[in-house]
A and B are shown apart, each in its own frame.
Chain A
Amino acid sequence: QKEVEQDPGPLSVPEGAIVSLNCTYSNSAFQYFMWYRQYSRKGPELLMYTYSSGNKEDGRFTAQVDKSSKYISLFIRDSQPSDSATYLCAVSYGNNRLAFGKGNQVVVIP
Chain B
Amino acid sequence: DAGVTQSPTHLIKTRGQQVTLRCSPKSGHDTVSWYQQALGQGPQFIFQYYEEEERQRGNFPDRFSGHQFPNYSSELNVNALLLGDSALYLCASSSPREWEEEQYFGPGTRLTVT
Contacts of B108 in A (CB 8 A): 43
Contacts of A49 in B (CB 8 A): 101-102
A28 lies within 8 A of chain B by Cβ: no
Query: Is A101 a contact partner of B105 (Cβ separation < 8 A)?
Result: no
Instruction: Give the complex CA separation of A57 and B56 in angstroms.
Output: 32
Interface string of A8-24 (1 = CB under 8 A from B): 10000000000000000
Q: Which of B42, B45, B56, B105 contacts A103 (CB 8 A)?
A: B42
Task: Give A107 Cβ to nearest chain B Cβ, in Å.
Answer: 16
A99 lies within 8 A of chain B by Cβ: yes
Q: Which label, helix, strand, loop or mixed, suits the secondary structure of the A interface?
A: loop
Indicate the size class of the contact surface on chain A: 20 to 34
Query: Is B107 a contact partner of A43 (Cβ separation < 8 A)?
Result: yes
Contacts of A99 in B (CB 8 A): 45
Q: Which of A92, A96, A100 contacts B43 (CB 8 A)?
A: A100
Contacts of B48 in A (CB 8 A): 96-97
B68 lies within 8 A of chain A by Cβ: no
Measured CB to CB, the nearest residue on chain B to A8 is B40
Instruction: Give the complex CA separation of A83 and B107 in angstroms.
Output: 18
Query: Is A100 a contact partner of B42 (Cβ separation < 8 A)?
Result: yes
In A1-56, the 8 Å CB interface with B consists of 6, 8, 32, 34, 41-46, 49
Measured CB to CB, the nearest residue on chain A to B91 is A43
A102 lies within 8 A of chain B by Cβ: yes
Query: Is A42 a contact partner of B42 (Cβ separation < 8 A)?
Result: no
B106 lies within 8 A of chain A by Cβ: yes
Query: Is A97 a contact partner of B42 (Cβ separation < 8 A)?
Result: no
Instruction: Give the complex CA separation of A68 and B59 in angstroms.
Output: 28
Measured CB to CB, the nearest residue on chain B to A89 is B42
Task: Known A-B contacts: A41-B107, A42-B107, A100-B35. Give 12 more (CB < 8 A).
Answer: A8-B40, A43-B105, A44-B43, A44-B105, A45-B104, A46-B103, A49-B102, A88-B42, A96-B31, A98-B35, A98-B101, A100-B43
Can you spell out 9 A-B residue pairs with CB atoms less than 8 angstroms apart? A43-B105, A43-B106, A44-B90, A92-B101, A96-B31, A98-B103, A100-B43, A101-B42, A102-B42
